[in-house]
Amino acid sequence: MIKVITYGTFDTLHYGHILLLQRARALGDHLTVALSSDDFNATKGKASHFDYATRYALLTELRCVNMIIPEDTWEQKRHDVAAHSIDVFTMGSDWDGRFDFLSDLCRVVYLPRTPRISSTAIKHIHTTQTG
């Protein structure tokens, strides 16, 4: 079984996320999503619209997602790859090259980002429409 992992906040789950997750899953047979915790987002200066429990609940509804673990630190990736016997680490192309340091442990793949959609854009539309 080929095991794949990806990381992210996945706030206001949108079709760019779903296309990323489908392509990530297609790189193997089993997809783990490391979902950024609310505390980790706070350390990044990022506040999600939906909290961890809600973002988790939405991801569990997707057929392409097999397992969800929390992402609490930047440094946990090497540990996760080893602990979950990961074969492929993947992220969208906005992270191009940033995780090449994992390539001694597993394959590292950057998938093209879907244009013209982001959590930031959705939150901006929501804010401008609701005031």
Contact between 119 and ligand CTP per CB under 6 A: yes
Q: Could you give the 3-state DSSP secondary structure of residue 65?
A: coil
Contact between 28 and ligand CTP per CB under 6 A: no
Contact between 49 and ligand CTP per CB under 6 A: no
Contact between 91 and ligand CTP per CB under 6 A: yes
Clarify whether 44 is annotated catalytic.
yes
- Which residues make Cβ contacts (< 8 Å) with residue 122, sequence separation at least 6? 12, 14
Distance CA 51, CA 65 (A): 19
Quote the least distance from Cβ 89 to ligand CTP, whole Å.
11
- Please identify which of the residues 3, 46, 77, 123 carries the catalytic annotation: 46
* Contact assessment for residue 99 and residue 109, using Cβ atoms and an 8 Å cutoff: no
Quote the least distance from Cβ 49 to ligand CTP, whole Å.
10
Clarify whether 77 is annotated catalytic.
no
Place of tokens 């392409």: 64
